[in-house]
Structure 1
Amino acid sequence: MRVHQYVYFALASSQVPAADITARLGIKPDEVTIRGSRHTEPPVPVCHTWRIVCRKPGLTVDEQINQILDRLYAHAYRIGELATELDQIDGSPGSSVLQVVRVFEHPDGEDADLTSPAEDLQILPGQHQLLGWHLETRALEFLRRTHAELDIDEYAYG
């Protein structure tokens, strides 16, 4: 089995552009989207987004999350304040999200490492080293401070 995965933290708004979010936070995003940049009626994408992304291969999901937290944790309260404002401007909650995306059998994914970590153990097919992850206390606190939802999407390629 091959696994391709990445994690991002995003702030999204139907009204406030990513450039304004950048100016407020003073943190340059890795990626942005512009509402209606692909189609205007109906608008696609449906909102502006500001993202910090980890696509580093070889890391588990919790390691990828920690890469993002290393960059943003010190700013969590300010991000949470802005998320609250964005929710009020847009009239609905959900402007802040920590997103996990995994695609199984993706051609760009990583193969399972079937070498044994210990002499008496045997790794069987399907026991991919990237499967399984957890959220540490710091990650849970970050979600609380930023008022973020945790969204996990898993797909099969093809």
Structure 2
Amino acid sequence: MMDWPWKVRQYCYFWLASEAVTAEQITERLGLGPDRTAVMGSRRTSPGVVPAAHRWEIRCETHGPIDEQASTVLARIAPAADQVRALVDGGDVEAGLMMVRRFDDPDGGHHAMGWWLTREQIQLLARMGASVESDEYAGDSTAHSSR
């Protein structure tokens, strides 16, 4: 039987991605600077294009519950919600909120495993035409704390 609680490292970001619209163009349209960008094909073009699209991201990697990180990220993008929706409605840009959790991370902290988004946050994401994604990874069980 495994010991509890798991050590978890988690982070959250809001992203915009496009094969046609660059991160610089997204920044110009939103009037908001990103924390991270990527240029389509900047790592390789063959056999496949990596990254597969231009990316623009606002990130939160502060230790803490993932739903609190989502609140931080969404508060930062909220003033540009109408501009995000205009980009998404143009057909060349996709948007989303990504929440990533790595369980059994020796550098992680002990936090509650559950998370939620408020009704207002869900409405904001819908208003922007954004998806919600979650990635969760688990390593070996040796990183569990002992009780």
TM-score (norm: length of structure 2): 0.86
What amino acid does structure 2 have at the position aligned with 1:103?
Answer: R
1:67 maps to 2:72: yes
TM-score (norm: length of structure 1): 0.80
Out of 134, 139, 145, the position equivalent to 1:157 is: 139
How far has the Cα of 1:108 moved from its partner?
A: 2.2
Alignment RMSD: 1.3
CA–CA separation in structure 2 for the residues paired with 1:134 and 1:56: 17
Out of 2, 12, 36, the position equivalent to 1:31 is: 36
CA–CA separation in structure 2 for the residues paired with 1:107 and 1:28: 32
% identity of equivalent residues:
38
SS in 1 for 2:106: coil
Structure 2: tracts of 5 or more residues without a match: 1-5, 141-147
CA–CA separation in structure 2 for the residues paired with 1:52 and 1:40: 26
What amino acid does structure 2 have at the position aligned with 1:101?
Answer: V
SS in 2 for 1:12: strand
1:10 maps to 2:9: no
Q: How many residues align?
A: 134
> What is the aligned partner in structure 1 of residue 95 from structure 2?
96
What amino acid does structure 1 have at the position aligned with 2:102?
Answer: V
Out of 131, 141, 147, the position equivalent to 2:129 is: 147
Deviations 1:12-47 (A, max 9, x none): 001111011001111000000111111112110100
**Contact kept in structure 2, 1:36 and 1:45, CA below 8 Å:** yes
What amino acid does structure 2 have at the position aligned with 1:98?
Answer: L
CA–CA separation in structure 2 for the residues paired with 1:56 and 1:23: 27
CA–CA separation in structure 2 for the residues paired with 1:30 and 1:63: 18
CA–CA separation in structure 1 for the residues paired with 2:88 and 2:102: 28
How far has the Cα of 1:69 moved from its partner?
A: 1.7
How far has the Cα of 1:11 moved from its partner?
A: 0.5
CA–CA separation in structure 2 for the residues paired with 1:70 and 1:39: 34
How far has the Cα of 1:146 moved from its partner?
A: 0.8
CA–CA separation in structure 2 for the residues paired with 1:63 and 1:89: 30
How far has the Cα of 1:130 moved from its partner?
A: 2.8
Q: Which stretches of structure 1, 4 residues or longer, exceed 6 Å deviation after superposition?
A: none
**Contact kept in structure 2, 1:61 and 1:130, CA below 8 Å:** no
**Contact kept in structure 2, 1:3 and 1:130, CA below 8 Å:** no
